[in-house]
């Protein structure tokens, strides 16, 4: 029979059991507290947290998990994730939880539920003491708003990219710290003649877009205000041509970095039109002045010429004054050539327009010029199928001689002069300081290997009386009259030259389909006659000398100093008047109005 424990032993045993009970209670309380803390932590985070067994049954879910599907936590236990969230009977394709169970590695994926919500899902393996997978923790975060925001941002970026690329103005984005281009649009590539690949990553300095002075001015202004509204800058393209641009720039922050967004307006065409208008106005003003001077000077020369001619009519060649009067006539003829050039510049000369073979005229004129300037080697490259032109042959011949003389003067030691003709259209004439009328043209290019011209000379090359020749060697009217003659024929002229590289003049004349007629020149002679002539001129000297000259030739002459007087005389004696000679420019009533009234 076992020995019965004593009271003391029983008391001791009770105390041990009470201690164990207290320890168990503390452990239970700590465990419960730990579970509460775990629950509190897991329930406080924004992600859905699920613990699943290897069959994908949910053993536990946090508050966010039950709230996301509007079920209490106990309704989740024992059910399948794909059943609750996806309304499926089997796991989703590409499910990261399945992959975690299979690989033992953390997996992640983006999944969309049938209600349109988007989730970022991760699977974490739960390992036992042996390192084997005992379950999987699934953590997923709803990213629907972020996804929509990202898609909206992508759409916005797409729209921006479309607007950026389709902008009719050149645009570029530059890193403010490095100065390197990070983006350019199609128009920028078009105007600079670079490809996008050639530009991205390079600085504007490496591309040599601007001079150092222009870039320093740009940076100073941008740093001062953070933006630029309309800064004129010259822009050099890949082929070296210069564009006149108006720049707009602004500093813009993107993802914590600062960039320069620049827009370039190409003003080259506008500047060209402004220069064309300015030049046309200047030429028109000078032409009006030159025409007035030439008209008045012609009247003076006419009086001198007629006076000398009348004296010579009654003078024997043995008279000691005969030779001096002949010299006076020669000097008057030289002066008349100058006024003719002035009138040509003013486009007020008299043109005898008819179909002309420009190639034949070039050959004849260059052959004649070759005999006078043998140090110049002349080359001709004339188009065999060259169209005809309608022109005053004498005036165009004068243009050719002016061109040849000007080229020869630029080559005092000799050189090459090339004359080239070809057919072109108005489309081939784009980019010059004029807007040609649509149609076909004949172009004559005159190229020399002379000293060339600087920019200042080029700007004034067609100005009357402007010359770079020394005193006594040139009047400064050759190119001026050439300009006027070509404009008077409805044509265009431009010049390309650079100091030390020669000069090329390009003359464009409207083409014509009319047949060229050969002309036969006959010797002129003074013809005396009979009849009555009404001579009208407001210049007393011209009128008096004209009366004497016509009377000397055997005519009866009636004189009138103005249009109204001429009309009155004609109406009174129209049955006896055989011819009327009218000055077209007179005060009160001009020759044109007087003629209309006489009819």
Angle between the 322-345 and 268-313 helix axes, to the nearest 10 degrees?
A: 160
Q: Helices marked H in 314-417 — which ranges?
A: 322-345, 358-372, 393-409
d(CA 391, CA 388): 10
CB 408 within 8 A of CB 371: no
pLDDT tens sequence across 68-83: 888 888 888 889 988 8
Here the tokens at position 38 are 């775990």
Beta-bridged to residue 135, according to DSSP, are 126
CB 502 within 8 A of CB 523: no
CB 175 within 8 A of CB 153: no
d(CA 209, CA 540): 66
CB 261 within 8 A of CB 250: yes
Domain 532-598 matching CATH 1.20.200.10: the answer reads: no
- Predicted confidence at residue 579, as pLDDT, reads 92
Here the tokens at position 211 are 């001079």
Here the tokens at position 200 are 């991205």
d(CA 302, CA 535): 15
Architecture of domain 353-512: 2-Layer Sandwich (3.30)
Per-domain residue ranges of the chain: 32-143, 167-266, 271-345, 353-512, 532-598
- Predicted confidence at residue 34, as pLDDT, reads 66
Protein fold of 167-266:
Beta-Lactamase (3.30.450)
DSSP letters spanning 192-220: HT--HHHHTT-BHHHHT-S-HHHHHHHHH
For residue 17, the SS3 value is: helix
Q: Do the first three CATH levels of 32-143 and 167-266 match, i.e. the same topology?
A: yes
- Predicted confidence at residue 227, as pLDDT, reads 81
Which residue, chain included where needed, has tokens 């299979």?
A: 102
CB neighbour class for 502 (10 Å; exposed up to 12, middle 13-18, buried from 19): buried
CB 13 within 8 A of CB 5: yes
Domain 32-143 matching CATH 3.90.1640.10: the answer reads: no
Residue ranges of the chain with per-residue pLDDT less than 70: 1-3, 27-29, 31, 34-36, 39, 149-163, 269, 272-295, 334, 337-352, 431-434, 458-478, 517-527
pLDDT tens sequence across 401-410: 888 888 888 8
d(CA 484, CA 487): 5
Spell out the residues 6+ positions from residue 103 whose beta carbon is closer than 8 angstroms to its own.
none
pLDDT tens sequence across 355-381: 989 999 899 888 878 877 888 899 999
């Amino acid at each position: 029979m076992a020995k019965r424990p004593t009271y003391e032993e029983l008391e001791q045993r009770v105390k041990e059991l009470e201690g164990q009970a207290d320890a168990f209670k503390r452990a239970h309380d700590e465990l419960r507290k730990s579970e509460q803390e775990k629950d509190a932590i897991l329930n406080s985070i924004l992600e859905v947290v699920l613990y699943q067994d290897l069959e994908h049954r949910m053993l536990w879910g946090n508050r966010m998990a039950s709230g996301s599907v509007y079920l209490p936590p106990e309704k989740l236990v024992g059910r399948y994730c794909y059943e609750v969230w996806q309304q499926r009977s089997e796991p989703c394709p590409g499910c990261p939880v399945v992959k975690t169970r299979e690989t033992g590695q953390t997996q992640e994926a983006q999944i969309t539920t049938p209600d349109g919500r988007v989730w970022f899902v991760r699977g974490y393996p739960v390992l036992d003491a042996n390192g084997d997978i005992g379950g999987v923790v699934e953590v997923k975060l709803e990213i629907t708003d972020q996804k929509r925001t990202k898609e909206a941002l992508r759409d916005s970026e797409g729209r921006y990219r479309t607007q950026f690329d389709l902008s009719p103005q050149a645009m570029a984005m530059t890193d403010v710290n490095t100065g390197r281009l990070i983006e350019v649009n199609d128009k920028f590539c078009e105007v600079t003649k670079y490809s996008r690949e050639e530009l991205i990553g390079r600085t504007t300095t490496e591309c040599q877009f601007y001079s150092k002075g222009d870039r320093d001015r740009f940076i100073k202004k941008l740093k001062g205000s953070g933006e630029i509204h309309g800064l004129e800058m010259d822009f050099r393209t890949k082929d070296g041509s210069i564009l006149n641009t108006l720049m707009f720039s602004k500093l813009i922050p993107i993802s914590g970095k600062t960039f320069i967004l620049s827009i370039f307006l190409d003003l080259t065409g506008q500047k060209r039109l402004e220069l064309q208008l300015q030049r046309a106005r200047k030429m028109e003003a000078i032409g009006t002045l030159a025409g007035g001077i030439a008209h008045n000077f012609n009247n003076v020369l006419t009086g001198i010429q007629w006076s000398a001619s009348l004296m010579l009519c009654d003078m024997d060649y043995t008279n000691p004054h005969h030779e001096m009067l002949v010299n006076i006539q020669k000097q008057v003829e030289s002066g008349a050539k100058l006024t003719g050039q002035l009138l040509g510049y003013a486009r007020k000369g008299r043109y005898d327009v008819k179909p002309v073979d420009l190639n034949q005229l070039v050959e004849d004129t260059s052959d004649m010029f070759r005999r006078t300037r043998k140090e110049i080697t002349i080359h001709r490259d004339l188009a065999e199928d060259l169209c005809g032109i309608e022109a005053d042959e004498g005036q165009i011949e004068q243009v050719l001689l002016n061109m040849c003389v000007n080229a020869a003067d630029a080559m005092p030691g000799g050189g090459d002069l090339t004359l080239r003709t070809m057919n072109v259209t108005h489309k081939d004439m784009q980019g010059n300081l004029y807007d040609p009328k649509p149609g076909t043209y004949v172009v004559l290019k005159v190229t020399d290997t002379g000293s060339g011209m600087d920019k200042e000379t080029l700007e004034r090359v067609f100005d009357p009386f402007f010359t770079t020749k020394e005193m006594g060697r040139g009047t400064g009217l050759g190119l001026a009259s050439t300009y006027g003659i070509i404009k008077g024929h409805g044509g265009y002229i431009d010049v390309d030259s650079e100091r030390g590289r020669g000069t090329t003049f390009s003359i464009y004349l409207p083409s014509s389909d009319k047949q060229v007629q050969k002309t036969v020149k006959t010797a002129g002679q003074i013809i005396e006659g009979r009849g009555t002539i009404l001579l009208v001129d407001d210049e007393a000297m011209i009128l008096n000398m004209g009366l004497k000259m016509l009377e000397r030739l055997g005519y009866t002459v009636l004189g009138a100093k103005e249009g109204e007087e001429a009309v009155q005389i004609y109406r009174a004696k129209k049955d006896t008047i055989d011819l009327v000679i009218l000055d077209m420019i007179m005060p009160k009533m001009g020759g044109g109005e007087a003629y209309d009234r006489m009819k």
